[in-house]
Structure formats: structure tokens, C-alpha cells
Structure 1
Amino acid sequence: MASSSEDDRKDDVYLSSGGEDIRRTFTDHLYCSLKDHQFDVFMYGDEYDDKLEESNGAIPEHLIQAIERSKVAVVVISRGYLESLWCLEELVKIMECRKTLGQLFFPIFYDVDPFDVRIQSGSFAQAFQKYEQKINEEKVHLWRKALREAALSLSDGLNLRKTDGHEGNFIRNVISQITGKLSIITSLEVPTNLVGIDSRVRDISKHLDVGGSNDIRTIGILGMCGLGKTTVAKAIFNKHHHNFDGASFLQNVREKKLIDLQEQLLSDILKAAYIGVSCIDEGTKEIEQRLGNRRVLVVIDDLDSVEQIDALDIKPDSFGLGSRIIMTSRNKHLLKILNVDKICPLPAMSEREALELLSWHAFRKNDPDEEYVELSRKAVGYCGGLPLALEVLGFYLRTKSTIEWETVLDKWNRSQPYREIHKRLEISYDGLTDDDVKAIFLDISCFFTGMNKDHVMTVLDGCQFYPEIGIRELQDQCLVTVDKEGNLMMHDLIQGMGREIVHAESPYNPGKRSRLWHNEDITDVLTKQSGTEDIEGLTLDMQESDECSFSSELFRNMQSLRLLKLNNIKLTGSYHNLSKELRWLCWHGFPLEVIPKDFDQPNLVAIDLSYSKLIRVWEDSDLLLEKLKLLNLSHSPNLAKTPDFSRLPNLEEVILNDCESLSEVHSSIGNLERLTLVNLEGCKNLKDLPLNFFNSKSIETLILNSRSRFENLAEGLGKSCQKTADGTPIRQILCLTWPVPSPDKGGGGGRQVVDSRHSMITSNPYENESRTKSR
């Protein structure tokens, strides 16, 4: 039964065989059962009998080594235990390893009373009296001490006398308790140079409260791909697993069959070779029946569906009191559905942490070499605190010269990060619900990052993409966030991944891609007249000094174009050439004094002509934009009057701030039933508003400032701010830094409420870009 003395591996169990009275019966059955449960077990057999008699109790060196390399020492104490000097010497060595090596010790009391063993009475007293007459007193003292310590460890062992006497059930219970010990002592492999992990482990451990509360607690670790969720979960597992009766780390559950996960969970905790499930329902039942009373730690890594949790039967009553369940996921909504007790969002690395992690992979030390410091900081900026990107880039740049670093970083900046990073990040994109959500993600990554969420949703709703559901899913999947100003934000590498997906649609012919944002690609498409119906969105951004001009004829074939953003571009020819599918037109620096009559865009929901040369909005015509909800004509210094709003019956927001020449607002503005926001800040030549404006039942926000020169505004506002009998305002009009004159005193004062919703799709053509870069 003994394993080879030459075997250097670490055994699971060293089984001290007990006295001759049970070595071939109970102890042999226990040995076989442990082997059946796939434990590596060391126990000397019959071939040692002669050596045992000749040794006078001294055990050979290779048995000492076998004790030292074992994870758990199991000692069977029976009536005949003291008949073997070898057993006593083993016990002394085992108790020594328990103290010095932290070895787990598991005493089994077979038909003896632990109390008799501890006080060494009865047959134990007689045996020691006999030994004291023949053997060195100091050695006998060590034996007594070791046996007393073993008996005091009863809480970690089993007593046959406390059972119904059925040895089969007793051995099954022994196996169960040993598996509970052994299933928790194997730590998971994590990188040797962990950066920033300790603080994250501490923060999450506070919510776990291991050893504090005896409730059953579930914790969700949330974060985008590549943020280090698995590494943090492993570190938490390694820190706490020894406090539980059993533990299981189910890694990459998204990639595995449910029935395999069930078997791994059962095997990790029970260590039972005979447990095998033939179907998911059977596995669920086994988990409920066999783990329901165990205090366990279970980590479910990369969770992405409710079915996985249902199959694993992960719910508060699945395990015993004091259990802790940790789930890592990219899906916030899923964690909410599962009703976890606490969701812990994993933060990106700070600049200091990112620099240290990059240095470990690039230079194998905490800090970069002196000549690489600035290049390393640039690399950290490109990676945006994402550990995956830092590790991949650092490893790739290892041993490369500074010139090679500059070349690689320049390529990274001009194009996209390496495929290895994208491949990992695309997992989130591939898992999105449907094509509409994927389209929303690509639109945001190519055009809308840094822009107001509500306005983007208006545009996407006009595209019939159901953005309320789609953007919520993107947020839940950690692909998109919303900053405190209400703008949609996206990690640079996530944005790069989205753009790379579009680029891959047609790597060598940009005219066949769905979205275009690189000036070089767009000018190539326009000059070669290679635009196709595949193009759904396009943004061409030129400096004002460039005076770039194209014929509208070049857009004739782009009849699927939904989103068009032009900065400082002139279009010659008929506007009939533009796609009738346009939902969003953002044209900063619009070059004409009036929108021409052939501007026929019945599906537009948002127009942004900031910084335009408009004097009036459009020629008198029958033009009707029924779907238009957002109109931004801000910073148009020559604009003298607003359009006739009756042609925009569903308008919700009109932005006219810093239109310095504006002197007239068309009276039809008061008839707009859905208008909620009007921004007239900085319109210093505007003296009054139509009286019917103040009768509007929909206006929520009016933005003005002290440069306004209104003459009759106080009277109008006075009427609009009348109160009902219960004292509540009929509606709320918010004013930005505007001193309202008092009707009775003619002085300043009044309300000054700062409104945070006045940012249109973009008031400054460079504001969003600079915000994105700064973040």
C-alpha cells in the first residue's frame, strides 16, 4: 500500500494505520475509500512489519519525509494503538509538523473514549507504565504529550462511539470531513507581481465579512473585460478559503458546459470520484442535497447567464450558514437579477499602478529604466488603466529599444491596439442581445462618445434602435458609462475595439464599411467616388482654415446614411443628393446664409448647425420637419431671427445661445406642445419673447443670463409663475445666472437656478473631443 519512497510529490493524506487490531480491517477500508475518492494516500503496509519489530520504534527517514510532505495527517487511535512504538513515534512527528509546517491533523477515535486518551487512563495508563520501566523517560514524556494533544483535537476528528456503530457510514462521514479539509487548502495560481490587488481585495473583503456574520452572502465583482476581475477573485479566494469547510473556484463558466460545472463544484467540495451526474437536473439535485449543510466558499468567474446559476443551484439556501458566493461578471443587470447582496465595481488602475504593472512586464521591476520613463507614461496613457492591455503591451515591448518603443506607440496611436487585446474585448460585443444593440454600440464608439446621453438617445430612437433598452444593456455590460454631466463615455480601448470591428467589415475598401470617421478614409472615398449604400454614418472634421469643399453628388450613392457630421465643410450642388435616411445632421460651420429649398429631410430628428453663417434659417417654403426634436443653432453670430416653429411641430429643445444678432423669436414658439427647453443665453440683442411663450404648458427650462436685454420679461414671468391654491407652481422655469427684476421694486434679485441640462448635442465643436482626451 505504500507509495514509492522516491516519489517527491506532495501526498494528500498520510494515514497512520493504528494498532494491529484494526490495520487490516477498519484502517484498510478507510485507505481504500480515500483512494476511491481520488486522494493521494501514503500508508505503510505489511512489508514494513519486520522493519517495525527491528526498529525499536524508530521510524525510517523516508517515512519522516512522507509525513512532512503530506497535506493532512490522519491518525486512527484504537485500543491497540499503544502496542506499536512506531505509531507513537509517528504521532510525535505528526504533531511537530502540525506546529511547524501548518499540517492539518485529523484524529479518528475507533472504539475508544477520547477522554481516556487525553487523561491516559485504563489500558493507556497500563501501557505507559510498562514503557516507563523499559524506555527512556524523556521519550515516553514526548509520547504522552503527543497523545494528549491528539485527544484535545477532538473537534477536528470523529468518534465512532458517538455514532450508530455502522462503520460504513462512519467512514463515509470521515471522508466527508477530510474532503472538507483538503478541498480548501490548494491555493490558486496568480501572477507573482500583483499590482494594486491588495487594496481591491481589502475593499471587497469588507463586504464578505468572512468569520463575522453567519449569514449566507453573495458578492458581485463587476467590470469590463481585461480589468482584472478574475485575478482579484483568485486573490480573494486564496486569502479566505481556509476559513471554510469547502471551496470551489469555477473559472470561465461562460466557456464551459453546465453539467461540467456541476461536476466540478461537487468534486471540488466533496472530492468524490463516484459522483457523476448524467443531466443538469440531476446535478442540481445533487448540489442541493449534498452541499446544503456545508459552509463553503464558491467563486463563479465570468458569469453571463441566469441559466448558469440555476444549473449550479446557486441561491442562499443552497449551502450552509456562513457560506460566501462570489460572482465576477461584465453584466450589471445580471447581478441585479440574481439579487446579490453587494455589487463591487472594479476600478481601473491609477496612473501609478498602471506604470508599475507595465514596468514589471517590460523591465521586470517596479519602475521603468530612466530613458524609458516618458515613453512608459505615454504607453500607460494609451492603455487607460486596463491591466490586460498593460500586460500585453509591456510584454511585447520587453527588450526593445527606445526607437522601437516610439514606433510601436505611434502605430498604436494611429491605428488600433493589438489583436490579442481586441480578441478579449470582443467577447462583450459578441454577447450583446441583438443587432440593434450592436449597432448602438458601434454608433457610440464611432460618433457619440462624450456626448449628452439624452440627445444621443433621441437620435438613436429616430433610427428605431430602442436606445433606452440598448444603452442600458451597454451600461450593464460595462461597455458604456455615463459621467456626472450626463455624457456617454467609453474606455479608449473599448472604443478602439468597436472601431476595429467596423474596419474589419472591409479592411481595404472604406467605401464598403458601415461607418467612417477617419478623415483620410473619407477623403479617399469622396475623391474616388467609392461611397456605397453600406455607409450608415460619416464624420468629416476639417479645420476652418482648410476651406474644404466637395460636391454633394459624391453622396448620391450613400443612400443608407443615417448619421452625418461635418465640421467646416462646403457642399456644392443640390441637397437632394443627401440620403433621405438622415436622422442626425451635425454641421458645424455651416457655410450658407440660409438653408436652401432643396433641403428635404423628412426623417431628421436632430439638427446641429452651431457656428454657422446663417442669417435666417431657411427660405420661405413648404418645408416641414415633423420628426425634428432637437435644433441647435448656437454661436451663429449673424442669425437675426428664428425659424417659423410651426414647421417643427414636435420640437423639444431649441438651442440659440450666443446668437448675438438674434432680435426676434417667432410667435409660433408658444404653440409647440412638446417644447421643454429653450436656451437664449448670450442673445444680447433679444429684447422680448412672444407673450404666448409664457402660456406654454410644456416649457421646463428657460436659460438666460445678465447680458439679456428684455423689456417685458418680468411681466411675462410674473404671469407664468402664478401658483395654485395649494401653493405649488403651475410649472417650473429655470433661469441661469439671470437677475429677475422685482415687479414692485423694479430691482434685481429673484430666482437664480443653475440648470445642468443646457448642453446640446455639442455647443462647441471641440468641447467633446477635448473632454474625451482629458479623461
Structure 2
Amino acid sequence: MGQDIVRRGSKEHGKRTRLWLYEDILHVLKNNTGTMIVEGIMLNTRIQKEEHLDAKVFSKMKKMRLLKVVDMGNVKLPQGLNCLSNDLRIIEWNGYPLNFLPTNFQPNKLVELKMPCSSIKQLWNGIMILDELKIIDLRNSQNLIETPNLSRVPNLKQLILQGCTALSKIHPSLGNLKQLIQLDLSGCKCLESLPHKINLESLEVFIFSGCSRLKSFPEVVGNMSCLSELYLNETAIEDLPLSVEYLTGLIKLDLRDCKNLSSLPNACYSSMSLKILTLSGCSKLDELPENLGNLKGLEELDLSGSAIKVLPTSIKLLKNIKNFSLCGYKGLSLKSSNKLFQQRTSPNPMAMFECPLSGLWSLTKLDLSHCNLQDIPDAFDCLLSLLTLNLEGNEFIWLPKSMIQLSNLQDLLLRGCSNLRSLPKLPSNIKYIDATQCTSLETLSLGSEYDFRPALQLLNCVKLIENQGYSYMSTMLRRYFINDKHYYGQDKLAHYISIPGGEIPKWFTHQNHVGDLVSLQIPSDFCNKLMGIAMCVVFAFRQHSPFESFDPLDFEDFGHNKYTHKLSCSIEFNNYKIFEVDNGFSEEFGKIEPYHLWLQYEPSQFFNKDWEKASSKSNANGFSDIKIKFKKWGPRLEVTKCGTHLVFKQDVEDLKQTMVGSSNCSCSITPYEDDFDGSPRDTI
């Protein structure tokens, strides 16, 4: 209604109070027809072709209070810009094409100045009185050389200069902005120094990530208790001043990949508020002080890839720690007999876990990947809160039987443990096991509990198939069918298996042996009886290329690694996509052999919101159309064949009866056992 009133006010675009339509704005700017009546320009659409505007384009719009042009990358001002309205409250001009603002611009009512990706070199010379200004955002303005004098901008709350790669000078006035809440200088690669002292009493977030030339952090003067997050990762920082003790409200300290950092002041380890401390990749940091245990509130500690050789015994006092990463440790010892880790004369750097670990009763995630571990001790059973255990890339042969005592364990990551021969009986509620590239693995104990039904990633576990066949696969599928009403944290429980194999089991009644799509029809009145859909695909790798040539896909797994390949599976029901899932894997630990099977089961109760609409429709013959489609990403990956099986209530009842009859067997035999014998299959 408001827009209609504005449009009815005048037929001439330049005599309306507000302009928001692409054609109207372009007409006014190109023809210089703006007037004193215009108060706001709001353009949310990119200028489609290059437009050259006159330097006086805004000269008549002296009452304009809002100028918002989200993307004007194609706008050129070859003669510069003579003026902007001094009444402006908000300027949001993405891609501002000039190095400077108009020299006569005195916007003393300005509240927000947002010019990301601009060509600005300097905002203003000397002192500008801007009492109302709260936000300056010049992110990715790669010509910006220095910050202006901000001494008369007393109410500035946000200063965003992220990605200003030419920025090399910070005006000293920045250190005294009493109202500043957020300061983001991340990615300012030319920045070498900051004001010698800072007194930013309202500052909450301080970001210097990627300022690779920044060698020192300023002295903290006065009260900066509001600061909760400090990011110094990937800087050239060599140490921190003792005055960091005044950062009494600090919750997160990120020093990741500070390659020159050799020590931290004791004050860093006395904070009662610190919850997250990241020291990963600090290759010169070789010691932690004994007062580490004073960090009573610490919840996350990441020491992966650092040079620390000795862990203080006080680590056992970190009662609230939840995530602890030691990824990449090559040698550790402790100073006393009250040990967390103990070094032996053997080459194993972390040969024993002992009782002090029991003090870490809040620990939910432990990362010991790539630590050259040659054995895993029984003392893991004290970590009763543990949810995720990452042991990837180690040298051990066995896992201890005491693993079954980890009653809350959900994710067990063993990828690349090439010497591992056997998996013991594991906790029944475990949700995910990744044993990819465990090439020596021969046995996998499933136990008799119906509740044991994890998703299994078993790529390249060829010896497991040779030794145990496919019996465990059929057992797991049956458990998925019978126990389908469970969730995985906030998400539904994953039901899938990835294993070596080149044929679709004949139990999958609808098959395609030459492609990535299965199409079928069912009577529409069967839809409400459908319990779920089981899907299977054979995928293969062709003509192996070196891992170094791969471009990892932009998504991560449970551990530190990025996947190099991905498969996705989607279900369409009467042209509605009701389900889609991805399965990613990496060749970080070596070549993945052809061929492999991916089996996925999805209960109908977890189909998306379109399922109800889709199941109520049918074609002219009273049938519903179902399509199962597989897609691939990554080098050399091919989908060679696929299949599906619709699971109805009677199938599940038959399986329940069979399972009851063989409940004492660790891998119970059912009428479907011979479905996984690799015999030829019919296609549809």
C-alpha cells in the first residue's frame, strides 16, 4: 500500500520520495532527473550492464536520507562524484568505484556506512565529526591503505575491514573507541602493527585472522572485560603482553597456526572465563605451564600440530573440558608418576593412558589421530561421557575389549589404521564407524543386540569380506528395518553401509545394471503401507590419478579431513523430491579400490514434508511413480549399477519373527542370507 501511495504521488520518477524499482532508478540516475523530493533510493538488483553516470548525478537530491544500492559493480563515474546529500543516514553502496568520497561531504547525521568491495583508498582526511555513526563496513575494499582519524566518531560500534589487503596503517585513535563492539581486520595481509595501547572497554569481538605480517599485540589499558572472542590465528605474533590479564571476560582465544609464537604469559592460563583455547599448528610452542589446570571453565583445547612435548599433570583438573585434540602428536611425556600419558622406550610416543583421564569426566570428543599410536590401553573406559573418538592414521593392531564400557560413544573414527586386524564388541548405541582403508581388518563383531546398528564406512576393507563374507551386511540391514524409530542427536539415525563389492544383491528387486537411475510404479493405495525404501549402488574408480592432483570437495567429515569424492542419492515420488542424502569419502590414506557397494535405508517416517502431498497423488491408472537417482562428484568416480527394494510392513514382521528365532547368534541367518552371494541379477 505504501509503495502505491508513493507511485501515485508523481508520474515523474525524480519527484517521488522513494525509488526502489530498477527501471525507475536507472532512469533517474542516467538522466540526472533527481530532485529535492527524493529521500531514499533502494536498489536490490545488480546493474545489468556498464553505465556511465554524470558527476552531478546526486547533486539535486539534497534531502536524500537513504542510499542503498546492493550491487553497482557496473556503475562508472568517469568524472568523479561532486556531491552526496549531507542528510544521509544510511549509505550502502557495494562496489563504490572511486578512491575517495566527495570532498564537500559532511554527513553529520550518518548512522551506517557500508561500502564493501569498494575502490576507496581513504575515507577522509583530518577529523570528521560523526556523532551518530555506528557502523563502518569496507570489507574487501582492496585499495584501502589506512584508517581515518576516528577521534570524533565516539559512538562507532562496528568497524569491518575484513579482506582489505592493502591496509597497512591504523590511526592511533582506533585504540580509544569506547563504544566499539566488533573490530574485524581479518585478511589484512599488509598490516604490520596496531596502536601501541588499546582501551576498548565495550569491545566484544576482536578479529585479526590472517594478518600474516602482524607481529605484536598492543598493551591492554584499563578495563576490557567485555571482550569475549579474540582471533589471532595465522598471524606472525611472537608473544602476548602480560596485560592480557585484563581480558577477564575472554571466552575464546584462537592462536591457530601462529608459527612464530613461542610462549604464552601465565595470565592466559589464569582466566576463569576462558572456554575455548586453540593452539593447533603453533610449531614453536613447545611447553604449557603447570597452571593450565587453573582454566576451570575450559571446554575445548586444541593442541594438534603444535610442538608441545610435555603435558602438565594439572591437565586432569580440567573437569569441564569437552573437546580435546592432540592430532599429529609425535612424542609426549609427563613430568610425574601421576600421568595422563607415559613415554616408554619403545617408539610408541603415547603408549599408556592411566587413571588421571578419569578426571576428564565431561570429555565428549577426543582426537588422537596421526599420533603414531601402536597400542590403545584399557584406560579409555574411564571416559564415560565420550561421544566421538578419533584414532585415524595410527599404527595399533587391536582395540581393547574395554571399549564396550564407553556407553555414550557414538562416532568411532579409524580411517587409515592400516594395521588394525579386528574390531571388538562395541557399545550398542554407537552410531557411526569409519574404518576406511583399514586394509588389514579381518573381523567385525556385531554382537546379538538389535540396538547395535551403526552406519558403517568400510571402504577398502577387502580382507573383512574375504574372511566374513556379507553376512554382517544382511544382519545390519535387517536391524535397520526393524529399528527405524531412532534419532542421531538432533538428526535422524543414519542407516547405511559402504563396503567392497561389485554386484547388487538380488534381494533388491528393482535393478538397473547400466546406469544411475531406477524407475518403478506401485499402486497408490500401497503408499500408506510403505515402511521405507532400501537403495543400493555399485560405484567404481577408474584410471587412478595421484592424490595431490585432487581438488577436495567443499565439505568436511567427522574428522579433520575433507572428502575428495561424493555420491548422493535422491528419491522422487510423483515428481516430488522427498529424500536426499550424501556419502563422502577421501583418498587421503591411499587409492580406493574398485568396486564398492553403498547400501542406504530410509524409513518413510523421515521423508520430507512433501511426502504427504506426493503419496496422495497418482497417475491416470492409479499408480504412483518412484525414481531413485544417484549422482557423483570427484575424479574417476563412476556409478555402474543400482537397485532398490520397497519395504512394507509384512517384510518387517517376517524379519522380526526370524530374528526372534535366532536371537542368540551374533550374525543371525535369515531367509535373505543368500541374497548377498554375488550371483547374477536381473535388471528392470
Give me the TM-score of the superposition, normalised by structure 2: 0.35
Structure with bigger helix share is 1
Structure with bigger strand share is 2
Question: Which of the two has higher C-alpha Rg?
Answer: 1
Give me the TM-score of the superposition, normalised by structure 1: 0.31
